[in-house]
Structure 1
Amino acid sequence: MSLSVNIKKKYKNFVLDIHFNSNERCLGILGASGCGKSLTLKCIAGIVTPEEGKIVLNGKVLFDSKLGINIPPQQRKIGLLFQNYALFPNMTVRENIGISCNKKNRKSITDRLLKEFRLNQLESRYPGQLSGGEQQRVAMARILAYDPEALLLDEPFSALDSYLKEELQQNLIDFLRKFNKDILMVSHSRGELYRFCDYIAVIDHGSLMETGNKRKIFEDPEKFITARLTGCRNISRAIRISDYEVRAIDWSVNLHTNKRVEDNIRYVGIQSCYIKPGEQHEENTIPINLSDSLEGPDQVKFVLTKQEDANYSHNSNLLWTVAKQEWRHLYQLKFPEYIQIPKEHILLLTESEKRKIC
């Protein structure tokens, strides 16, 4: 089974220009609000019609602008879970689930799904009488009653509070493992996508920036925007010095690298958790001052500035994240005067492609 998408559609502020293949796996689509994530799902589901391109699901052409093919949404066999779940408010739980089945098998399928999603005691209630988590389970059961060939999840946890998210995410993970078909999940939460998906596609302003295995995308991104979206807070403009040395302009320091520095380097980055305390004589060290600290339940975040930085700017700041227990054990008595940027964790980043503006 596979889903192939290659579409374009013009909007006022950008062009949606997306192309990817998903082969029986959970593909996460990561991007900032308004970048085109939900529009991509709506095009696949048939709710929005692209202006050009092609969509193929399991060998069946759902859309082809050249051939004039545009299969209606109800015939595409695609299940789309909306952010607000879109349950029918005047129907009970049983009726909401059963409406997706054919009349012949409606009762048996509905009975099975009510049991599978632990909704038996709620079957006579209406959506307004359900919690957010219960509504999500009903919406998922309704989609499965339709027996879709692909599942599209549009911010499935955005309507839930943090407690419900933690409770329901494991349930959804267990469910997705059993759903042996293509799954696309859209979110602006990098943590959710990392937990649920095997592969990640990064979208910025309507265009696909980068795609690959989730570990590659998070640990070794190629582009500036990907590093930002996956949580890298420490990024400096950079220029190439030699094959294994780069100048971090905003941090006013030369850094030695493990990876070869290419001519198209534009930025360097370091995840805040990989920064270490250092000594003056060591490689890749920066003299720092403590500007601010932010204490959380499990970790401490330190905002650092370079000592005697005549060209100080906001971009010169470095964020260092340390587990609270480690901080108490190692560094609480004396704050380090230097930090070290380990060369094995330095990100070498290129500029994203120019955004397509109409």
Structure 2
Amino acid sequence: MRDLVVAGGGPVGLVAALHAARAGLDVVVREPRRPPIDKACGEGLMPGALAALTDLGVDPPGVPITGIRYVDDHDSAVAEFRHGPGRGVRRTALSAALLDAVAAAGVEVVARPVEAVEQRDDHVLVDDEPAGHLIAADGLHSRVRRLVGAERDLSGAKRYGLRAHTAVAPWSSEVEVHWSRRSEAYVTPVARDEVGLAILTDRPAPFAELLADHRGLAERFAGATWSPVRGAGPLRQRVTRRVVGRTLLVGDAAGYLDAITGEGIALGLAQAAAAVEAVVAGCAEDYETAYRRLGRRHQLLTQALLSSARVPAVRRLIVPTAARLPRVFGAAVDQLARPA
């Protein structure tokens, strides 16, 4: 019987497997998608996320990110990272680096989804195969979350994300967040000759139409050739609990509020470490407490920004206020940049 099965071979699942291997557990990853795995995301690793990967010996290729800049048609505000840079990394490059690390650690990755979960007192059956525990890191629309009955109905406004790349040399070492009346556009340098553009909105529309709302970006990218657009959403996912018997939910599978602060990977990596720690200690329920502790700061900041962005009169003031109060803006960015 294996000690641990990890469902999902994205960054959070692979990091969970690395922590498990370091702890001496017999672990296998179940991931049906063909590697390296791509996903619609902003592709900016905050300094805390980069530090967590470095601690595991993972050094994905990319370009340094020195801070966050908010931009609208009239104002801009910048906050530099205070404790070292982050990194812009293509999602496929991050996937490849983590898969190499997992292979070097002797962890097997099996090209199969998890399709059935049954809880037992002293083990869990994963597709009729016994394991000590199951960590679900299978993403925003987690199958395991549904299988163990931890999913809650969605209510309220739905938000969606789109992402594409273009062969344009980065003009800044910061992630730029451009605000329009109906979306936020995140420009992330991911190579010396490439940037990614991720757009978040609650009003689904074609990528080109949403880009046109951001006049400065539309002018800069005039005539650009874009890669195929990837989408994600609805972003908000609710769960009843993060621990169900011997199954622990991590990353997006554990519930998700929004990508507006760009902290998702850093938080997911911290959750992966905490989940493995609980498994090693033989106290899976401890992870529920750790999850709440790790997510408290992120939840507060994300909810505050999201609530402000939903009110048009307040939304228009976000960038001007950040420009007028640089210390406050810098402190908020510092909270997001440091380890979870």
TM range (shorter): under 0.3
Relative to its length, the structure with more helix (as a share) is 2
Q: TM-score, normalised by structure 1?
A: 0.23
Considering only CA atoms, is the larger Rg found in Structure 1 or Structure 2? 1
Relative to its length, the structure with more strand (as a share) is 1
Q: TM-score, normalised by structure 2?
A: 0.24
